[in-house]
Amino acid sequence: MKIAVLSGKGGTGKTFVSVNLVAASSNAVYVDCDVEEPNGYIFFKPQELITQNVSVKIPVVDPNKCDGCRKCVEFCKFNALAYIGGKIIIFDDVCHSCGGCVLLCPQKAVSEKEKVIGKIETGISENVKAITGILNTGEASGVPIIKKLIDDISSNCNLNIIDCPPGSACVVMESIKDADYCILVAESTIFGTHNLNMVYELIRLFKKPFGVVLNKCIDGENPSEEFCIKHSIPILERIPFCSELGKANSNGLIAVREIPKYKELFSALLGKVSKEVQG
């Protein structure tokens, strides 16, 4: 079972919900797909780390074979190659590793080299296996790391919680593509509601079953709750704003392991979600 946790807006509590759901389960894997700013490891402090580099293929041109026909330059939709001063210049950071330049070069002058763009760390924290994708700073796209994280999820584990990046662009699409169910985390501000609307559209496009967790609820109006009611979206849980919880969270503590009432809350939420997925 693969459950993706996403929100559109940043800082609504995706990592908080993901980490605690995993911690409340007896046999779960936590997969951090927010490779630009991964945070789950701060909570789990995983031990026995295994590190694996993730690389992409970048073209290399053999100047002795290149006859300057510029077929590669004209082909590249990402403008990753240019012909300047009688030779081909390659811009690694905009290359999408499609391999087109290699296929099309009439002189077979283009080959590929591996370029490391980040890594995946796997470790253990009590009953939890925590997997973190980390993009190197200065790199533009974490998609290849997310792709590897998602492809490597083993099918024999009962529960995999996928902590997604914020937004609604390619990195989010890659993170949710194989999910059996999506949990949308929304906060009670008009910003939260606007971005909830965006990811709501996105997951309907992907035809995923889903429910909403309303986080940091305060007394008074909750535009995100109103949105859910208006669109008949199931509300899985309402988590009240609580400064004790906020403090624990900001210090990298897992609420489920520290405060008994959150163990209850997240166990119940996990039960609800499992039922939704199976039913």
Partner 1 sequence: MKKLLILSGKGGTGKTTVAGAFIKLSNAKAFADCDVDAPNLHLIMEQKTKPIKSDYIGMGKANIDLGRCVSCGFCEKNCRFDAIKLDNACYKVNEFACEGCGVCEAICPASAIELFPQVSGELMLYKNDAVFSTAQLKMGSGTSGKLVTEVKRQLNLGNINTDLAIIDGSPGIGCPVIASLSGVDMVLIVAEPSLSGISDLERIIRTAQKFDVKTVICVNKYDTNIENTLKIEKLCNMKGLPFVGKIPFDRNIIAALNKGKSIIDVDCAATKAIKSVYEKTINILN
Q: Which long-range contacts (CB under 8 A, 24 or more apart) does 201-205 make?
A: 202/168, 202/172, 202/173, 202/176, 203/6, 203/176
Q: Is 38 left (phi over 0), alpha (psi -120 to 50) or beta?
A: beta
Alpha helices (H) along 5-86: 14-24, 40-44, 71-75
Residue 126 or residue 201: which is nearer to partner 1 going by CB? 201
> Binding to partner 1 by residue 170, rule CB under 8 A?
yes
> Binding to partner 1 by residue 60, rule CB under 8 A?
no
Distance CA 40, CA 160 (A): 14
Span near partner 1 by CB under 8 A; candidates 25-33, 121-129, 166-174, 267-275: 166-174
In this structure, what are the phi and psi dihedrals at residue 55, rounded to the nearest 5 degrees?
Answer: -130, 165
Site for partner 1 in 243-272 (CB under 8 A): 243, 246-247, 249-252
Site string for partner 1, 125-144 (x = CB under 8 A): ----------x-xxxxxx--
Nearest distance in Å: CB 225, partner 1: 12
Nearest distance in Å: CB 28, partner 1: 20
Query: Token match 């990195």: residue?
Result: 171
Token pair in block for residue 147 = 């792709």
Site string for partner 1, 68-107 (x = CB under 8 A): -------x-xx--------------x--xxxxx--xx---
Neighbours of 8 (CB within 10 A): 26
Q: Which residues bind partner 1 (CB under 8 A)?
A: 8-12, 15, 34, 36-37, 39, 42, 75, 77-78, 93, 96-100, 103-104, 135, 137-142, 165-173, 177, 187-191, 194-195, 198, 201-202, 205-206, 218, 220-221, 223, 243, 246-247, 249-252
